[in-house]
Structure 1
């Protein structure tokens, strides 16, 4: 099953171990998953993509106008996938994830302060845990 993984903004990548990020993105690409990102700062986005060699991993990127708001262009672009509930939205903002869930995305919380007991969506402290969580969910689907 092909899924889409959308990262909510360029800042999700900035404070993480770039090796761990690339390991997750390599895994997703090897499974032919679609990867996208919403970005709000063109200069920061370009710097991130060039410095960390992430451009080759992205299938699409969407420019957002207001931080903490999911761009309508993203929803329009993914409308078919959203209808089939095949789009994961990864963010470190709970408000952003609530909006994503209302729009039909599957929210995933990625933040050091995540707490499984208080959240209604999958949550991970870092890209390493997210990577393991994605592998585990694939294994569970096979069983």
Structure 2
């Protein structure tokens, strides 16, 4: 089953100490033929991150966000078939954005260091390592 993983912002990829874990997760998703995309709000920062961390090869698509913290209408239009089949994960560090994403049909995933301190209305993970393990666990449960 092909799923789509949308990272909500270039800011998720900023921490240097996360880069090895980011690449491991993206390698895993690509090896499983999952679709990977990103919403970006700052073109210059996005270009810098893609080049510095060699992330461009992982992305199947990118969408320019109109307003920080919202889900772009272009993303919803682009993924309408996948959304109808409930196969789109939306990963963000903004709870407000995740609430909006859930209303639009995405499966929200909260990715933030303080995720255990917040009242997250969805799955939450502290870092890319936890997210990676969560994705593997979810796949395993579906096989059972």
How many residue pairs get aligned? The number is 143
Runs of 4 or more above 4 Å deviation? none
Match in the other structure for 1:64: 65
Q: Per-residue CA shift, 1:38-79, capped at 9, x if unaligned?
A: 001111000000000000000000001100111100000000
Q: Give yes or no for the alignment of 1:28 onto 2:34.
A: no
2:6–2:36 contact (8 Å) kept in structure 1: yes
Match in the other structure for 1:6: 6
Secondary structure at the counterpart of residue 123 of structure 1: strand
RMSD between superposed Cα atoms in Å:
1.2
- TM-score, with structure 2 as normaliser: 0.96
User: For structure 1, which runs of at least 5 residues remain unmatched after alignment?
Assistant: none
User: For structure 2, which runs of at least 5 residues remain unmatched after alignment?
Assistant: none
- TM-score, with structure 1 as normaliser: 0.97
2:2–2:87 contact (8 Å) kept in structure 1: yes
Match in the other structure for 1:131: 132
